[in-house]
């Protein structure tokens, strides 16, 4: 069997590492072809993950990144179609909700090659988000939909997607957290900050709905500043560019650093006091590492974390953000709601049936 995997953005390298390893371990007869669209291209947004996570190097890199949504998706679609026609895979495998996900799904569906979608069924019900458009369209053309949670499965059923296309497999990011935890690495710069473990807030910000609106960016940075706690902010290139354009100054308690590799990110997550983020993946990782999470968005796809009290929505409201950071008081972390750490294996088994 031949599987053509399309990845392109940071979180997809981490998710694909889990499933690629599961193919090698459980179905070495499967031939996986890795295609990197080039959506993320800086060394610390792409190469570092291939170096650290044991993912095979991509068989193809399309070199498409840095454009608008339409430019990126259109150019990816054209190149992916040609590649799929040449390779004729039995399956195309896509992850998450980026422009690379949609391009991979559309190209293969139109060539009548079945698409499998990992992280299917996530919904924010906010069509302003480019990710929501990408997810809904990908789910509706996919042949096999791998839902990470019960809520995701229900969302798909509510949209009329036939039950026999849906598999509740757990979350590959939980598999990743378990596997890479013991390989976590303290960043070289950490000791120079004179901070101790469990004393700092780890923050990430990159969502278009925040970075593209000056009032929201100002609200978030005001809130981080008012919290008064030391904050480490690995800065996504999108956010870095917007901060410069908007002239938003970083508060004195916020230390911005370059994006870190996954092993360093895991160390920061395991050693921080609180996580504040607008990332999808980092919200779940907060839960895996038993850290209170304050989400810098007005809604989230990971509603079970809110319902369980592990995560609180602060939006971009400075008062909410500073109050929640100062008073973070979350319940005990109990059973895992994202599976048993065998999502990768489940996915491989379903695809090989
Ligand atoms: C993308 C995904 C988002 C995901 C995020 C993960 C879409 C629509 N969005 O957002 O769902 O949460 O990745 O991080 O697919 N840039 C660089 N270097 C890089 C990568 C990006 O400079 O290596 C800059 C470029 O100016 C680029 C901008 O960041 O134009 C945005 O990149 P893009 O891939 O379009 O979206 P992200 O914000 O990264
Ligand atoms: N991540 C990382 N380095 C960083 C920031 C994030 O390795 O500097 C990891 C993080 O641990 C998680 C994934 O990237 O596994 C989340 O990606 P991101 O926040 O870019 O995208 P999202 O999950 O919101 O789509």
- Residue with the smallest CA separation from ligand 1 atom 27 is 66
How close is the Cα of 39 to the center of ligand 2, in Å? 14
Beta bridge partners, 101, equal none
Q: Which ligand is nearest to the CA of 258?
A: 2
Q: Is the pLDDT of residue 210 over 90?
A: yes
* Amino acid 333: pLDDT: 80
Q: Do both 158 and 24 map to the same domain?
A: yes
**Among 94, 196, 199, CA closest to 138:** 94
Check which CATH number belongs to the domain holding 245 and give it.
3.40.50.2000
* Amino acid 247: pLDDT: 87
Nearest atom within ligand 2 for CA of residue 131 = 25
| Six-digit token string for 209 | 């709905």
**Which range marks the domain in which residue 265 is found?**
185-327
How close is the Cα of 238 to the center of ligand 1, in Å? 6
- pLDDT for 261-284, tens place per residue? 999 999 999 999 999 999 999 999
The strand ranges marked E within 1-119 are 2-7, 31-36, 60-61, 91-95, 115-118
Q: Across all residues in the chain, what is the average pLDDT? A: 97
- pLDDT for 41-81, tens place per residue? 999 999 999 999 989 999 999 999 999 999 999 999 999 99
Beta bridge partners, 233, equal 256
User: Half-sphere exposure of 187 toward its Cβ, with a 13 Å CA cutoff?
Assistant: 24
Query: What is the mean predicted confidence (pLDDT) over 135-141?
Result: 98
In a domain, 178, yes or no: no
In a domain, 299, yes or no: yes
Q: Do both 12 and 138 map to the same domain?
A: yes
Q: Ligand 1: residues whose CB is within 6 Å? A: 9-11, 39-42, 45, 65-66, 69, 97-99, 130-131, 206, 237-238, 241
Greater model confidence, 269 or 329: 269
Nearest atom within ligand 2 for CA of residue 259 = 8
Q: The whole model's pTM is what?
A: 0.98
In a domain, 114, yes or no: yes
Q: Is the pLDDT of residue 334 over 80?
A: no
The CB of 53 under 6 Å from ligand 2? The reply is no
How close is the Cα of 219 to the center of ligand 1, in Å? 22
- pLDDT for 2-24, tens place per residue? 999 999 999 999 999 999 999 99
Query: What is the mean predicted confidence (pLDDT) over 285-309?
Result: 96
| 5 Cα distance to chain centroid | 16
Nearest atom within ligand 2 for CA of residue 278 = 24
Q: Which of 161-165, 210-214, 336-340, 342-346 has the lowest mean pLDDT?
A: 336-340
In a domain, 231, yes or no: yes
- Residue with the smallest CA separation from ligand 1 atom 35 is 66
Sign of torsion, CA 244 245 250 254?
Answer: negative
* Amino acid 192: pLDDT: 97
Active site positions, annotated: 206
Alpha carbon separation from 2 to 47, 117, 143 (Å, rounded): 25, 16, 16
* Amino acid 176: pLDDT: 98
The CB of 100 under 6 Å from ligand 2? The reply is no
Query: What is the mean predicted confidence (pLDDT) over 300-315?
Result: 96
How close is the Cα of 87 to the center of ligand 2, in Å? 30
**Among 59, 45, 60, CA closest to 14:** 45
Q: Do both 167 and 214 map to the same domain?
A: no
Residue linked to tokens 């950490």: 190
Is 173 in contact with 285 (CB distance < 8 Å)? yes
Q: Do both 18 and 136 map to the same domain?
A: yes
Number of structural domains (the chain) is: 2
Q: Do both 93 and 116 map to the same domain?
A: yes
| 325 Cα distance to chain centroid | 23
Is 345 in contact with 16 (CB distance < 8 Å)? no
- Determine phi and psi for 345, rounding to 5 degrees: -65, -40
Q: Provide the edge-to-edge strand list for the sheet that holds 2-7.
A: 60-61, 31-36, 2-7, 91-95, 115-118, 144-147, 166-168
Q: Do both 246 and 309 map to the same domain?
A: yes
Q: Which ligand is nearest to the CA of 240?
A: 1
Is 220 in contact with 210 (CB distance < 8 Å)? yes
- Output the DSSP codes for 104-135: HHHHHHHTT--EEEETTT---S-TTSHHHHHH
Nearest atom within ligand 2 for CA of residue 281 = 23
Q: Is the pLDDT of residue 335 over 80?
A: no
Q: Do both 166 and 119 map to the same domain?
A: yes
Residues 6+ apart with CB under 8 A from 148: 119, 121, 122, 169, 170, 171, 172, 173, 338, 339, 343
- pLDDT for 212-229, tens place per residue? 999 999 999 999 999 999
The CB of 187 under 6 Å from ligand 2? The reply is no
Instruction: Please report, for the chain, how many H helices and E strands are present, in that order.
Output: 15, 13
- Residue with the smallest CA separation from ligand 2 atom 25 is 280
Q: Do both 220 and 270 map to the same domain?
A: yes
pLDDT-based confidence at residue 153 (cuts at 50, 70, 90): very high
């Amino acid at each position: 069997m031949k599987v053509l995997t399309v990845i392109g953005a940071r979180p997809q390298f981490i998710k694909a590492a889990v499933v690629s390893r599961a193919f090698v371990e459980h179905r070495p007869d499967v031939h996986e072809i890795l295609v990197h669209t080039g959506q993320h291209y800086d060394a610390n947004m792409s190469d570092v993950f291939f170096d650290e996570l044991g993912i095979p190097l991509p068989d193809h890199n399309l070199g498409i990144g840095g454009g608008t949504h339409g430019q990126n998706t259109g150019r990816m679609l054209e190149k992916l179609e040609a590649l799929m026609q040449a390779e004729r895979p039995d399956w195309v495998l896509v992850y998450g909700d980026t422009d690379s996900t949609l391009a991979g799904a559309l190209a293969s569906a139109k060539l009548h090659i079945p698409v499998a979608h990992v992280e299917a069924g996530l919904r924010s019900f906010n069509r302003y988000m480019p990710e929501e458009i990408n997810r809904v369209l990908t789910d509706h053309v996919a042949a096999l939909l791998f839902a990470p949670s019960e809520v995701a499965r229900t969302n798909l059923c509510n949209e009329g997607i036939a039950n026999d296309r849906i598999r509740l497999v757990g979350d590959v990011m939980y598999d990743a957290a378990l596997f890479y935890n013991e390989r976590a690495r303290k960043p070289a710069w950490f000791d120079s900050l004179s901070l101790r473990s469990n004393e700092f807030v780890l923050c990430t910000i990159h969502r278009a709905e925040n970075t593209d609106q000056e009032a929201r960016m100002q609200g978030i940075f005001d809130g981080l500043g008012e919290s008064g706690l030391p904050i480490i902010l690995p800065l996504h290139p999108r956010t870095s560019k917007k901060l410069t354009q908007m002239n938003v100054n970083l508060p004195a308690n916020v230390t911005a650093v370059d994006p870190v590799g996954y092993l360093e990110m895991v160390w920061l997550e395991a050693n921080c006091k609180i996580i504040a983020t607008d990332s999808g993946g980092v919200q779940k990782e907060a839960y895996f590492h038993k850290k209170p999470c304050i989400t810098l968005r007005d809604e989230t796809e990971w509603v079970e974390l809110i319902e369980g009290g592990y995560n609180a929505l602060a939006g971009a409201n400075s008062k909410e953000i500073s109050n929640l950071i100062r008073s973070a008081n979350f319940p005990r972390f109990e059973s895992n709601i994202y599976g048993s750490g065998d999502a990768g294996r489940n996915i491989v088994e379903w695809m090989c049936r």
